[in-house]
Amino acid sequence: MPDPIYLDHHATTPLDPRVLEAMLPWLRDEFGNAASRTHVYGWRAEAAVEQAREEIAAAIGAREPREIVFTSGATESDNLALKGLLRARSGRARELVISAVEHPAVADSAAALAAEGFETRVLPVAESGLVDPEALPELLGEATGLVSVIWAQSEIGVVQPVAELAKRCRERGVPFHSDAAQAVGKLPVHVEREGIDLLSFSAHKVYGPKGVGALYVRRGRPLLRLEPLLHGGGHEWGLRSGSLPVPLIVGFAAALRIAEAERDAEAARLLALRQRLLGRLRARLPGVRVNGDLERRLPGNLNLSIEGVHGDALVAGCAGLALSTGSACASARPEPSPVLRALGLPAERVREAFRIGLGRGTREGDVDVAAELLAATAERLRAERAASPPAGPPASLPASRIRE
């Protein structure tokens, strides 16, 4: 059987062959430690890292390369932003504000900070999945140490009004962080223009290698101080100790360079594919609902609920497609997605939800096959359900608790 069509580009993306080419010399020939100051092996590695840092800074509109701190990925960047900032400011700042639709890397970091006495306030979202910037100021107080709102949501693809949120934070002197793992390389991201203080992003969401990401930390006044998560050799200005993964960093920069150069054309292409897919599916099948705002959304994202069809059963039933529900599912007790619940959708519609993530490798033929397979599988599942009344989800569903 051929591999299924990959429609899960929010979970990860394949390595672009051009990125691999850029990385190969640094895997094969060059092995120096970028922190070695006494010989040419180290100098060459350092030069490659600093060139990559410059390109990555430019790609997100940062003023200085020194504002880029390399990490192992967006999860670590989110942890460093939230824990690092609040721990460093722990005197006065005892509170943080996050949106109701954060990735677990932010939501669970905030939950972990509760054990240290930090309180979290939640900025709610409308049924569209969007926060209301007007609702933010009333959540900000003397004790607010940080506001964190995801730029583009990884399940529903909804794009938040980050510039408006950042502006309100700046007016109140509160630092603003955004998890932009799904936004960088796909949407115009310019930290200086949008007034962002901290930004998390990752290489493997933009056709780069897994295991490398960055945290942008604005320099200048007012000063942002961060407590490191890792202690050691004092790399990355003491913010992240550990020898730098030079091949991954070189690949990260190459991936962003390509994504930026192709961004607008690729966004238009993905949007057309998404419209084709949704149009075909709706022409074939009644009761197809889109979860989250359809306009303010990543071009390659769809989160759908098909009436009367459980998302888990649909994803499992479409063997020819690599899809996901984008939500956690504990073995026997399916746990509905906290993100979809935050939209206030009925429980049934949350259970029906599944996620489609189109990407660089997706072609017209793929979305046509996907529409046909989804429709046929949904029809079969509806018929089965009509024949035997629902008795909960089958026990053989994947027990994964991993959310991307």
Element (H, E) at 306: strand 301-306
From the list 277, 329, 378, 381, the catalytic residue is 329
Nearer to ligand PLP, 181 or 314 (CB): 181
Regarding 185 and contact with ligand PLP (CB under 6 A), the answer is: no
Q: Report CA-CA distances (Å) from 116 to 43, 111, 112, 227.
A: 41, 10, 8, 14
Q: Determine contact, residues 346/31, Cβ cutoff 8 Å.
A: no
Q: Which of 19, 49, 74, 97 binds ligand PLP (CB under 6 A)?
A: 74
> DSSP string of 178-208?
EE-TTTBTTB---HHHHT-SEEEEEGGGTTS
Residue 306 CA to residue 354 CA, distance in Å, equals: 9
Regarding 16 and contact with ligand PLP (CB under 6 A), the answer is: no
Nearer to ligand PLP, 7 or 181 (CB): 181
Of 154, 135, 129, give the one whose Cα is nearest residue 97. Answer: 135
Regarding 177 and contact with ligand PLP (CB under 6 A), the answer is: no
Note if 169 is an active site residue: no
Q: Which of 73, 195, 251, 317 binds ligand PLP (CB under 6 A)?
A: 73
Q: Report CA-CA distances (Å) from 104 to 186, 299, 304.
A: 21, 23, 21
Residues 190-219 that bind ligand PLP (CB under 6 A): 202, 204-205, 213
Nearer to ligand PLP, 180 or 288 (CB): 180
Tokens read off for 250: 């070189």
Q: How many residues bind ligand PLP (CB under 6 A)?
A: 16
Tokens read off for 242: 């550990």
Regarding 145 and contact with ligand PLP (CB under 6 A), the answer is: no
Q: Which of 98, 146, 181, 217 binds ligand PLP (CB under 6 A)?
A: 181
Task: Report, in Å, the least distance between residue 69 CB and ligand PLP.
Answer: 14
Residue 228 CA to residue 233 CA, distance in Å, equals: 12
- Shortest-Cβ-distance residue relative to ligand PLP: 73
- Select from 73-81, 184-192, 240-248, 311-319 the region that touches ligand PLP (CB under 6 A): 73-81
Of 241, 247, 210, 246, give the one whose Cα is nearest residue 227. Answer: 241
Active site residue ranges? 329
Note the residues at the interface with ligand PLP (CB under 6 A): 10, 73-75, 103, 105, 150, 154, 179, 181-182, 202, 204-205, 213, 404
